[in-house]
Amino acid sequence: MADILTERRRGRPVGQDLRRRAVAAVLEGRMSGEAAARHFDVAASSVRRWVGRYRQRGHLLDAPRSGRPSRTEPERERIFRLLEDRPDLSVRALQRALAAEGLVFGTASLQRFLKRHGLGRKRRVAWRRKPAPNAAARS
C-alpha cells in the first residue's frame, strides 16, 4: 500500500525533481524508458517525451503556455491613479469608476489584476437588514 503522503494523484503534473531523476536514469543507461516509468510510477510516454525534450532543448522545463493577454494591464496607470486618489475603493466601486471612464471589466478580472500587483482588497461581509422588532413576536 502506497504511503498517502507520497502517493501522486493521477492526472496531476509531475514535479521537476521526479522528471530529472527519471531522465537521468534513462540517459545514464541505468534503466530503459519503460523501466524508469514503472519505477517512478509515471507513463512511459511521459518518460519518452521528457528524454526527447532534454535531448532537444537541454532542459526539462515546460514550454511557456499561451494565454489571452490581460485587458487590464494596458490600463494599469489609470487603475493605479484611481486607487491612489481613493485607496479604500472596493473592487465593485473600482469597476464602477472605470465604467464611468468608458472601461468595462469584470470583477474577477479586476481582482486578478489587484492580486497580481499586491493590491488585493478585503472581502466585505454582505450587509444584512435587521429583522423588524415585531417579526419575532409574529413567529
To the question of pTM greater than 0.85 for the whole model, the response is: no
Cell of 118: 499586491
In this structure, the answer to whether residues 20 and 52 fall within a common structural domain is: yes
78 shares a domain with 111:
yes
Same structural domain, 52 and 77: no
Each residue of 22-63: pLDDT tens digit? 999 999 999 999 999 999 999 999 999 999 999 999 998 877
Specify if 94 maps to a domain. yes
CA distance 80 to 77: 5
Tens of pLDDT, residues 65-90: 778 888 999 999 999 999 999 988 89
Residues 51 and 23 placed together within one structural domain of the fold: yes
Is 31 within a domain?
A: yes
Residue 3 above 60 pLDDT? no
What is the per-residue burial (b if ≥16 Cβ within 10 Å, else e) of 28-47?
eeebebeebbeebebeeebb
Determine the structural domain holding residue 104 and report its residue range: 73-116
> What does pLDDT average to over the chain?
84
120 vs 79 pLDDT, higher one: 79
One domain, residues 53 and 77 = no
Question: What is the per-residue DSSP string for 59-103?
Answer: S-PPPPPP-PPPSSGGGHHHHHHHHHH-TT--HHHHHHHHHHTT-
128 assigned to some structural domain? no
